[in-house]
Amino acid sequence: MQALKPVRDTLDVINGKWKLQIIISLNAGNKRFTEIERSIPKLTSKVLAKELKELEQNGLVERIVKDTYPVSIEYHPTNYTGTLHPVVESLKDWGENHRKHIFGIPTETETPEKAK
């Protein structure tokens, strides 16, 4: 269905367990590879390298090689990364409502008293 193509494209870009976590880590500040790796438990070096490359290809991450000795490389979110913010917020809101619907778990914005 042609109408769903943009949705499929979006899911292809942010798909997987790690991409959004990497973006969130980068939004907390410019990071080197090992800093990103340490900030996300259970993320392996091999997977991080693959995910960063894909994020860079999609214009969400910029790889900057510093002219230092030894050479250091930093990864920065691009301005384009900010366009994902409303998408992530919508996913978060839907996820909270879904958890409440399925498990009866109150959302972050509700206190246990309000959820009853």
Residue 33: inside a domain: yes
Residue 68: inside a domain: yes
What the block records as the tokens of 12 is: 């292809």
- Domain with 39, as residue range(s), is 2-78
Residue 50: inside a domain: yes
In degrees, rounded to 5, the angle at the alpha carbon of residue 91 between the alpha carbons of residues 94 and 1 is 95
Give the domain CATH number at 30: 1.10.10.10
Q: How many domains does the chain have?
A: 1
Residue 87: inside a domain: no
Residue 99: inside a domain: no
The per-residue pLDDT for 111 is 58
CA–CA separation, 10 and 73 (whole Å) = 28
The per-residue pLDDT for 113 is 56
Residues of the chain with pLDDT under 50: none
